[in-house]
Amino acid sequence: MNSVPSPTVDVNAGGHRVAELTIADMRRVVSERIAPLRPQPVPTHAAMGAALAEPLRPQSVFPPADTSAMDGFAVSGPGPWHVLDGAVTAGSERPRPLADGTATVIATGALVPPMTSFVLRRENARQLWGGRLVDVAGRRPGIGNDIRRRGENWTLDCVLARAGTVVGPAVMSAALTAERTTLTVRGPLRAQVVITGDEISTADGLRPGQTRDSLGPVLPTWLRDIGYAQTATEYRSDREFRDDSIVASADAPVIFVVGGTGHGASDHLRSVLHRLGAEIIADRILCRPAGSQLLALLPDGRVIVGIPGNPLAAVTAIMTTGRAVAHSLLGISVAPVRGRLTAAVRSGTGPARIYPAVQRADGAWDIDPCTRTAHLAGLINRTALAVVEGSGPSPTAEIIRFHAM
């Protein structure tokens, strides 16, 4: 929609042009201008994708009591043992103490009765004539007793995860094991996606001139991958986008506006930003695709990322600028990772080139130099973007992986 040049919308809030930024400069500006979210207590089960604002310390030692590590018999004293009636199952409270010379059936995870010497695994136990139990493994007392001792995994002074760690399934699960019912975190980060453009259609059957929306259903997956745990998506025609208050009213710290970043007749993002008193902090990034990105701050601190409409450019913008914004808001720092390429490539003296990439068995990355931007077919079976910068032939590139896929 921006094929018709327009002299009317080259505007930004301060009235002066903001320089095009390299990717490194964009990351620096983002970390300087976008402050981390305020830490807040969040129920542990609702904290997926947030970042720990404090080290994760246990609320309870683990295991909280001596428990059996195996199905078998809790035995007291040297054998053979007389097996008592009944069984100690997981979930039973306070089993009675075991008298010397006796044994009781016990289940994995059950509390070990006081006076237990060790747990005899079922496969190492035989009952003699008359019912007496013996240990056929001939264990030495105290060795491999198959009892999980209270606090042997962690005590209250342990740190299970450092501040800045993103809450994934392992962190959440460990926190629950440690009886942490709330966590002090930044996030979970929410994003509003606004897909603009008169030509974009989600309805059955395309009319001439329409373009199938190939981003709305998939952007939340990419966004979740880089730290936006919750996403809401809205569609607006160009005029609706220009006239309504979706950007003003969006209830999310980050608003991704898809399309309209250019200077074409229907590209209204700049004028909307101007009207809302936003400060543009990056106007174009020196990269291809996704050069036509805008990064702006609303007066209340919400961040607007204007991403190009071409689908591969949109994903590239999200994986570079969108990712840097998420890291800043979550208060985490992620050092760029470099990878070896299967063949040296030259980006030339111009902008950084960003290519779909996939890792070979030997660890080197194959890149696709000829990918088109109007669709995402070039990302099928690819697991990363490779960022190539510098004028000479480069044998390595920054690798930005897609973790969720």
CB 163 within 8 Å of CB 136: no
| Only segment of 84-92, 195-203, 214-222, 287-295 that touches ligand MOO (CB under 6 A) | 287-295
Cβ atoms within 10 Å, residue 286:
17
Interatomic CA distance for residues 349 and 173, integer angstroms:
48
| Only segment of 63-71, 167-175, 196-204, 305-313 that touches ligand MOO (CB under 6 A) | 305-313
Q: Which is nearer to ligand MOO, 50 or 290 (CB)?
A: 290
Interatomic CA distance for residues 353 and 286, integer angstroms:
9
Per CB under 6 A, 262 contacts ligand MOO: no
Interatomic CA distance for residues 365 and 358, integer angstroms:
5
User: What, of ligand LQZAQKY5, ligand MOO, none, does residue 262 touch, CB below 5 to 8 Å by kind?
Assistant: ligand LQZAQKY5
Distances (CA, A) of 131 to 97, 116, 239, 260: 21, 19, 86, 83
369-398: contacts with ligand MOO (CB under 6 A): 373
170-199: contacts with ligand LQZAQKY5 (CB under 6 A): 195, 197, 199
Nearest to 69 by CA among 116, 134, 137: 116
Q: Which is nearer to ligand LQZAQKY5, 53 or 255 (CB)?
A: 255
Helix (H) or strand (E) holding 43: strand 40-43
Q: Which of 44, 76, 102, 261 binds ligand LQZAQKY5 (CB under 6 A)?
A: 261
Per CB under 6 A, 305 contacts ligand MOO: no
Per CB under 6 A, 1 contacts ligand LQZAQKY5: yes
Interatomic CA distance for residues 318 and 321, integer angstroms:
6
Q: Which of 39, 58, 79, 311 binds ligand LQZAQKY5 (CB under 6 A)?
A: 311
| Only segment of 56-64, 65-73, 170-178, 253-261 that touches ligand LQZAQKY5 (CB under 6 A) | 253-261
Interatomic CA distance for residues 279 and 14, integer angstroms:
7
Residue 63 Cβ vs ligand MOO, minimum distance, rounded to whole Å: 54
Three-class DSSP category at 290: coil
Interatomic CA distance for residues 244 and 266, integer angstroms:
15
User: What, of ligand LQZAQKY5, ligand MOO, none, does residue 227 touch, CB below 5 to 8 Å by kind?
Assistant: none
Q: Which is nearer to ligand LQZAQKY5, 307 or 329 (CB)?
A: 307
Q: Which is nearer to ligand LQZAQKY5, 42 or 247 (CB)?
A: 247
Per CB under 6 A, 288 contacts ligand MOO: yes
Interatomic CA distance for residues 194 and 238, integer angstroms:
11
Residue 363 Cβ vs ligand MOO, minimum distance, rounded to whole Å: 29
CB 258 within 8 Å of CB 309: yes
Nearest to 102 by CA among 125, 126, 77: 77
> Is residue 57 exposed (0-12), middle (13-18) or buried (19+ Cβ within 10 Å)?
middle
Q: Which of 227, 259, 322, 378 binds ligand LQZAQKY5 (CB under 6 A)?
A: 259
Q: Which of 49, 79, 308, 322 binds ligand MOO (CB under 6 A)?
A: 308
CB 161 within 8 Å of CB 52: yes
User: What, of ligand LQZAQKY5, ligand MOO, none, does residue 215 touch, CB below 5 to 8 Å by kind?
Assistant: ligand LQZAQKY5
User: What, of ligand LQZAQKY5, ligand MOO, none, does residue 309 touch, CB below 5 to 8 Å by kind?
Assistant: ligand LQZAQKY5
Interatomic CA distance for residues 214 and 318, integer angstroms:
15
Q: What are phi and psi of 219, to 5 degrees?
A: -60, -40
Interatomic CA distance for residues 190 and 289, integer angstroms:
26
Which residue number has the CB closest to ligand MOO? 313
Per CB under 6 A, 145 contacts ligand MOO: no
28-67: contacts with ligand MOO (CB under 6 A): none
Q: Which is nearer to ligand MOO, 340 or 375 (CB)?
A: 375
Length of the chain: 405
CB 307 within 8 Å of CB 314: yes
User: What, of ligand LQZAQKY5, ligand MOO, none, does residue 138 touch, CB below 5 to 8 Å by kind?
Assistant: none
In the chain, the amino acid numbered 154 is: W
Count of residues in contact with ligand LQZAQKY5, rule CB under 6 A? 26
CB 285 within 8 Å of CB 20: yes
Residues of the shown chain interacting with ligand MOO in the complex, contacts defined by CB under 6 A? 288-292, 308, 310, 313, 373
The residues binding ligand LQZAQKY5 (CB under 6 A) are: 1-2, 5, 195, 197, 199-200, 211, 213-216, 258-262, 264, 267, 289, 292, 308-311, 313
